[in-house]
Amino acid sequence: MAKTAQPVSASQWFLGALSLPRKWRVGPGPIIAAIVLTVIVLSAIFAPYYVPFDPMHMESTKRLQPPGGEYILGTDPFGRDMFSRVVTGGRISLLIGIGAAVISVFFGLLIGLVAGFFRMADAIIMRIMDSLMSIPAILLAIALVSLSGASVGSVIIAITIPEIPRVVRLVRSVVLSAREEPYVEAATALGSSMPKILTKHLMPNTMAPLIVQGTYICASAILIEAILSFLGAGVSTETPTWGNIMAEGRDYFQINPGLIFWPGLMLSLCILSINLIGDTARDLLDPRLKKREA
Amino acid sequence: MLGYIIRRILAVIPVMLIVAIFVFLMLRLSPGDPAAILAGDSATAAQIEKIRTELGLNDPLHIQFITWMGQLLQGDLGTSLISKTGVVDMIANRINPTINLALMTIIISVLLAVPMGVAAAWRHRTWVDYLVMSFSVLGFSIPVFVIGYIFMAIFALGLGWFPVQGYRAPTEDFFGFLLRAILPSLTLATIYVALIARMTRASMLEVLGEDYIRTARAKGVKENSVLFRHALRNAAVPIMTIIGIGFALLIGGVVVTESVFNIPGIGRLTVDAILARDYPVIQAIILLTAGIYVLINLLIDLSYTLLDPRIRY
Amino acid sequence: MKFKSRNFEGAETVLDIKDLSVNLPNQETVAPILDRISLNIRAGETACLVGESGSGKSVTSLAVMGLLPKGALEVTGGKITLEDRELLGLSHNELRHMRARRMAMIFQEPMTALNPVMRVGDQIDEVLQIHADMSASERKARVLDIMEQVHLPDVKRIYGSYPHQLSGGQRQRIMIAMALVLQPKLLIADEPTTALDVTTQAQILRLIAELQEKQGTAVLFITHDMGVVSEIADTVHVMKEGQIVEQAPVEKLLREPREDYTQKLLKAVPSLIPRKVRPPKSDDQVLQVQGMKKIYGGGGIFVKKEGTLAAQDVSFSIARGRTLGIVGESGSGKSTVARCVMRLIDPTEGEVRVDGNEIARLSRRQLRPYRRFIQIVFQDPFRSLNPRWKVGESLIEGPLNYGISRAEAMKQAGDLMELVGLPRDVLDRYPHQFSGGQRQRIAIARAVAMKPDVLVADEAVSALDVSIQAQVLDLLGDIQDKLGVAILFITHDLRVAAQICDDIVVMQNGLIVEYNSASEVLANPQHEYTRALTEAAPGREWDFANFCELKKTA
């Protein structure tokens, strides 16, 4: 273990701060995933500047056109350009993914820290979380959306609520095991106050697992958005999302499989990239994490 | 032992109570007037007021809850707003296809996923491992209905091996049931296999690093015996846990798969209820699935004591 | 002291290792893990492989068994011959058939080396199922027989027990039964008693010797403990950094060690002779514990549950500048006492006075002003510093809590680094850049930064190699001389206690059984348990540091 002294560089500070293994070894998979994801994100952000057609414009004479020619990916049952719709649809899908990840990590961290640190609150919080987890996420989201109306905001909230218990459990378990570490006990002996121990010693331990969990939530939120749309409980069809493009193409699937295939492909590639990056981050950040997830 | 079982069963009560409160509040506290939501868009003020009195919505919240819980405990889940029939009957009519589909999916998943996970852990960092892990990431990344349509396009429309859609009860025509249930089951199984294989691999990797595995090898135990007799049983608890937790995922998948393959089960009932905003039905389905989830996880918890003698009550 | 001095000329060679090299795969440039080591063991002989952690002892044993972790380590040269068969180059299956029949192995951690979900009887039976052609009833009889031979009580009941239902010593007996049921020619024992208490260790060593005599087994015994070596070895092989630096019969090695490294190892073995009596410098009792009791668990909302009694009637006191040792085996309650004194856990009953202030009943908030006076150093150097913080940050954490300015605290931290023998610039580095011994110095500095009156050292040197252990003990002594701090030293190791303690408390099952000056406790133990402890200490008649018999004083 004895390491010869090296000057501390910024990268080493970063690795130390996340307690990463000193060796970064990344295979080609995650790098390709990162490139694919970057392309998808950029193409979605800049979609309005380069799409050939207004994704909302219906051309009743050009319904269900096959791919090729004027329409790269053909047109949908209302005569709208599929290519324009698919790249534009990524904007809302990604927004929902990132929104759900950020919100659920934020609230999950807050509640999880409280549960991990205060015994009294723990029992009550965990019962509520158990109850929330016992309702299948998709059903819960469906019910919430159908009650509150199908806006982007309500879809994000509906996806976030079932994810929060998972984050809470993760944060709580990290806090509970970190509390047992001798360095935390030493801090108590050194007279550090509870809030200081919580923020300076315990919270940093949750950062690496939360980054990983956040990527998974982002991926699963995009997926759930698609399923909600598919079931008719998603964002209204006036704003294209990958999910509702596929939902609208459902009935014409046998005529033109591309109606589901292209948005499905974009969606799957996007989620695949996020998941691969998440897996890589997890392997690098903390091999013990495998035990805690699920 | 008996004391432990009773305590575990008692612990279910607060969880289900909170679910019930949640389901109750969901409708009452949602933005907008529940009576107006229930009455639908074209209702007149008088109609809404009538529903309001019928449902006791003018009573204070806690009285409403007590009435509602009282009915619930008597097995009365209310009446559908659309078909005006009892929700319990509606669910009873639709539950069989869903149970059959779910059972078949679980069997297929466990039979596929556990050997895959074991193989991946055993051949850690080889092509076997990478193949299993790639499949698993893929399974998590493709929406279940897209998988359904892909299977349908290839095996039903393309190769013509299976009927495109539909359902047949196994009691009438078992072969017909199998023929129609295989594609939906495989569709549903994809994500479940991904989940279980992943957990099996992680759990096995951990166990294979344990000292007693080295002991087993040191006494000359055959490799497959090391894997299945020594390692898998020690790795079983997290695998069982994920099977239980994954059940929630399965329910979500059922809803989608049934509408892709046009199977008249609970999933379709759910979708119809959502589209029609038939709230009593949605409430009942949420309560039912949460109840089944809690029950399954309770059984799995109790099974730990059989799997691992160290777990005591 | 009587050493083993049998003559093995003419005895058949059981294991012959020639020029064995082990390396990381594809890394020829790195120093090899094992560098051309050679040794041989004859029937009935016990060869001890000694060395500090990382010297390659365990790798040697795993290489013989063919159990090197795949892909992580590989044999790059040499020969391993067992009786007349060359082991390297055997197929996986051939090697598997050799295990348990020709060669067997027992491991360090009896807690984890047995399969937790299989009955122990079945685990022994499995060996017979694989390697012997016997009926079920024959196998059962044989298993019960070997269980008798390892002196397990009530073998029929234990046959059906799971490992977690047995004590550490019993589990190690099961391991031995499993290893020897087929009477292999070679037994490899990798630190088999390190995780056990001294009294259990003595029993297990006796058992191995007994079965070895009965079966004529050759034993390769791996240990870091020179006391154990002196008791059991015929021949000793000293390893350092992947090489065998010295091989000799045990008496020769202990009397006339040739190599510097061997001498250094022997000199670092703490002596059982208590330190010279120091007259107390002051009467000022800085830590007084009176009638302390701790019950874990208990309570319960509906049913009153019985808690576990961890400590009871514990009373002692330490004067400024003195060292009190609490010695006991695992489960004796010694660590519970340390944690109660620190108020990391709350004592159920009794008083704790630090500088005369009663702290046992104070609330967390009321306690904070008094925390400064009593500090602790933990056992595990790898977990006692926050891995995300620079060493400097860890060192000033305490002083900042007590209103010292950052600049001032940093300056003091630098001084402290010099006090514990590290350069000032370590303040800018992270804990992972240091060895275990260095980290323990940092942890000591962190505690001392608070200028405490009492320093609690909870097994603070137990995780360290002997040579590092000696240095850290010296450091604690130095600090005490300079700062006059009182030390409460918790340890399971009588030798270590003898080196540093003025007074010793011996604990057993949560009770103090003896409390006296160190010289009295060690030379003239009153309680039966203390006598058992001293008698079980391996090599207690030998003065390792001076290469001769221990001269009895008094």
The 10s digit of each residue's pLDDT in C210-230 is 999 999 999 999 999 999 999
pLDDT at A289: 41
List of domains in chain A: 27-44+73-285 (1.10.3720.10)
**B309–C117 C-beta distance less than 8 A:** yes
Nearest to A183 among C371, C386, C402 (CB): C386
Q: Which residues from C are below 8 Å from A183, CB to CB?
A: 383-386, 394
Least confidently predicted of B4-8, B25-29, B133-137, C177-181: B25-29
**A201–C386 C-beta distance less than 8 A:** yes
List C79's β-bridge partners, or say none. C18
Could you give the CA distance from residue A228 to residue A235 in angstroms, rounded to a whole number?
8
In the Cβ-directed half-sphere of A279, how many Cα atoms lie within 13 Å?
Answer: 22
pLDDT at A288: 47
Residue C62: closest C-alpha in chain B? B218
Cα angle value C493/C497/C502 (rounded, 5°): 165
- Helix (H) or strand (E) holding C392, with range, is helix C391-401
Distance from CA of A21 to the nearest CA of C (A): 10
Nearest to A190 among C397, C425, C429 (CB): C397
**A134–B248 C-beta distance less than 8 A:** yes
A228 in contact with B at a CB cutoff of 8 Å?
no
A5 in contact with C at a CB cutoff of 8 Å?
yes
B251 in contact with A at a CB cutoff of 8 Å?
yes
pLDDT, tens only, B9-63 = 888 898 899 999 988 888 776 666 667 766 666 777 888 888 777 767 777 888 8
DSSP state of C68: P
Among B residues 200-259, those touching chain C with beta carbons less than 8 Å apart = 210-212, 214-223, 230, 233-234
Cα angle value C17/C193/C157 (rounded, 5°): 115
Residues in chain B: 313
**C388–A185 C-beta distance less than 8 A:** no
Task: Provide the whole-model pTM.
Answer: 0.86
Q: Which residues from B are below 8 Å from A267, CB to CB?
A: 143, 146
Nearest to B220 among C97, C114, C162 (CB): C97
Choose from B123, B215, B310 for mutation: most chain C CBs within 10 A.
B215
Could you give the CA distance from residue A74 to residue A68 in angstroms, rounded to a whole number?
7
**C388–A19 C-beta distance less than 8 A:** yes
* Residue numbers of chain A with a pLDDT score lower than 70: 1-27, 286-294
pLDDT at A6: 37
Nearest to B274 among A223, A232, A279 (CB): A232
The candidate with the shortest Cα–Cα distance to C201, out of C329, C320, C335, C334, is C329
A86 in contact with B at a CB cutoff of 8 Å?
no
Read off the pLDDT band of C201 (50, 70, 90).
very high
Could you give the CA distance from residue C504 to residue C523 in angstroms, rounded to a whole number?
12
pLDDT at B36: 72
3-state secondary structure chain B: CHHHHHHHHHHHHHHHHHHHHHHHHHHHHCCCCHHHHHHCCCCCHHHHHHHHHHCCCCCCHHHHHHHHHHHHHCCCCCECCCCCCEHHHHHHHHHHHHHHHHHHHHHHHHHHHHHHHHHHHHCCCCHHHHHHHHHHHHHHHCCHHHHHHHHHHHHHHHCCCCCCCCCCCCCCCHHHHHHHHHHHHHHHHHHHHHHHHHHHHHHHHHHHCCHHHHHHHHCCCCHHHHHHHHHHHHHHHHHHHHHHHHHHHHHHHHHHHHHHHCCCCHHHHHHHHHHCCCHHHHHHHHHHHHHHHHHHHHHHHHHHHHHCCCCCC
**Cβ(C81)–Cβ(C88) below 8 Å:** no
Nearest to C371 among A3, A5, A190 (CB): A190
Can you say how many angstroms the Cα of residue A22 is from the centroid of all Cα atoms in its chain? 27
Q: What does the block give as tokens for C498?
A: 């003898």
pLDDT, tens only, C16-34 = 999 999 988 876 667 788 9
CB atoms within 10 A of CB B151: 20
Give me the total of CB pairs closer than 8 Å, taking one residue from chain B and one from chain C: 69
Least confidently predicted of A44-53, B229-238, C184-193, C336-345: A44-53
DSSP state of C427: G
The candidate with the shortest Cα–Cα distance to C514, out of C530, C503, C500, C499, is C530
A186 in contact with C at a CB cutoff of 8 Å?
yes
Among B residues 161-220, those touching chain A with beta carbons less than 8 Å apart = 199, 202, 205-206
Give the pLDDT mean for C464-472.
90
Adjacency order of strands within the sheet including C357-358: C308-319, C285-296, C349-354, C357-358
pLDDT, tens only, B130-171 = 899 989 989 988 989 889 988 988 888 888 888 888 888 888
pLDDT, tens only, C240-299 = 999 999 999 999 999 999 999 999 999 999 888 888 888 887 888 999 999 999 998 765
pLDDT at B178: 86
| CATH 3.40.50.2000 is held by the domain B87-307 | no
Residue A185: closest C-alpha in chain C? C344
pLDDT, tens only, C352-390 = 999 989 999 999 889 999 999 999 999 988 889 998 899
pLDDT at C478: 93
Q: Which residues from B are below 8 Å from C192, CB to CB?
A: none
Give the pLDDT mean for B221-241.
93
Q: Which residues from C are below 8 Å from A204, CB to CB?
A: 388
C180 in contact with B at a CB cutoff of 8 Å?
no
pLDDT, tens only, B55-91 = 677 778 888 888 888 888 888 888 887 788 888 899 9
Nearest to B15 among A130, A139, A227 (CB): A130
Portion of chain C with pLDDT greater than 70, in percent: 97
Nearest to C99 among B218, B233, B309 (CB): B218
Instruction: Kindly list the partner chains of chain B, i.e. chains with 3 or more CB atom pairs below 8 Å.
Output: A, C
Distance from CA of B249 to the nearest CA of A (A): 6
B39 in contact with A at a CB cutoff of 8 Å?
no
Give the pLDDT mean for B169-195.
89
**C105–B233 C-beta distance less than 8 A:** no
Q: Which residues from C are below 8 Å from B230, CB to CB?
A: 115, 118
pLDDT at B34: 66
pLDDT at A253: 78
Could you give the CA distance from residue B199 to residue B219 in angstroms, rounded to a whole number?
28
Distance from CA of A194 to the nearest CA of C (A): 10
Mean pLDDT of chain C, nearest integer: 91
pLDDT at A23: 47
ipTM: 0.84
Distance from CA of B295 to the nearest CA of A (A): 10
Cα angle value A111/A112/A118 (rounded, 5°): 90
Instruction: Kindly list the partner chains of chain A, i.e. chains with 3 or more CB atom pairs below 8 Å.
Output: B, C
**A272–B248 C-beta distance less than 8 A:** no
**B125–C99 C-beta distance less than 8 A:** no
Residue B309: closest C-alpha in chain C? C117
Nearest to B310 among C97, C130, C164 (CB): C164
A194 in contact with C at a CB cutoff of 8 Å?
yes
Among B residues 87-126, those touching chain A with beta carbons less than 8 Å apart = none
**Cβ(C413)–Cβ(C394) below 8 Å:** no
Q: Name residues whose C-beta falls within 8 Å of residue B90's C-beta, 6 or more positions apart in sequence.
A: B80, B83, B269, B281
More confident position, A144 or B216: B216
Nearest to B137 among A134, A148, A276 (CB): A276
**A181–C428 C-beta distance less than 8 A:** no
Read off the pLDDT band of C303 (50, 70, 90).
low
Could you give the CA distance from residue C24 to residue C26 in angstroms, rounded to a whole number?
6
**Cβ(A188)–Cβ(A201) below 8 Å:** no
Q: Where are the domains of chain B?
A: 2-73, 87-307
pLDDT at C370: 92
A36 in contact with B at a CB cutoff of 8 Å?
no
pLDDT at C322: 94
Portion of chain C with pLDDT greater than 90, in percent: 71
